[in-house]
A = this chain, B = another copy of it.
Amino acid sequence: MSLSPRLEALIDALQCLPGVGRKSAQRMAFQLLERDRSGAGALARQLDDALANIGRCERCQTFAEDALCPVCADDRRDGSLMCVVESPADLAAIEQSGDYRGYYFVLLGHLSPIDGIGPEDIGVDQLLAQIHERGVTELIMATNATVEGDATAHYIADRVDPETVTITRPAQGLPVGGELGGVDGGTLSHALRGRRPFAG
């Protein structure tokens, strides 16, 4: 014998969480059963509630409880601007910065042929339809600055009509408040190549 079957089943189930292996799952199961049964009950309820009620926005694909997410439902935004991001977390980060007033399209991932994720899985056709429908004139490619994010941005740029839509990418360079010595070489060379006149 080692652990009871239900405990084993719980430990297995906890391993569906990203970054959680057998050891962490065991620690989590013990902690919940020993010290936080009310927290575990709340987690089970919130999981069920989220699964039953959180779907995707019909327009931008982000997580939403209604047919449209709050951003798409807000018709005071600038319909000529659309920002393409990989995940709802990226959307939330841009919203928190407070500057952007256009709409979004959330790919929920990036192209990854090795994992079998093609254009139809990230909703490229739906993005193109949205660009047409909303009359977008500038598409901001805010996919991650990774190989996959870049490849996804290039693929989408190739499918967009360059006559009607300008495609841009957020500037790459030094982070605000960052120390030069702590910045990696790739970022530093981007920052130097993209240097600008000193505004004084």
Q: Which residues of A pack against B, CB within 8 Å?
A: 1-7, 9-10, 12-14, 16-19, 24, 26-34, 36-37, 39-51, 53-54, 63-65, 69-71, 87-89, 92, 95-96, 108-109
Verify B65–A39 contact, CB threshold 8 A. no
| A44: chain B residues within 8 A (beta carbon) | 43-45, 47-48, 51
Verify B9–A18 contact, CB threshold 8 A. no
A151 to B53, CA, bound (A): 50
Closest B residue to A92 by beta carbon equals B2
Verify B89–A30 contact, CB threshold 8 A. yes
Verify B32–A1 contact, CB threshold 8 A. no
A29 to B27, CA, bound (A): 20
Verify A63–B13 contact, CB threshold 8 A. no
Q: Which 8 A-B pairs have the closest CB atoms?
A: A16-B39, A44-B47, A13-B46, A1-B70, A2-B92, A13-B43, A10-B50, A44-B44
Closest B residue to A88 by beta carbon equals B30
A45 to B40, CA, bound (A): 11
| A69: chain B residues within 8 A (beta carbon) | 1, 4
Closest B residue to A52 by beta carbon equals B6
Verify A51–B37 contact, CB threshold 8 A. yes
Verify B42–A16 contact, CB threshold 8 A. yes
Verify B31–A64 contact, CB threshold 8 A. no
CB distance from A98 to the nearest CB of B (A): 11
Verify A30–B95 contact, CB threshold 8 A. no
| A27: chain B residues within 8 A (beta carbon) | 18-19, 89
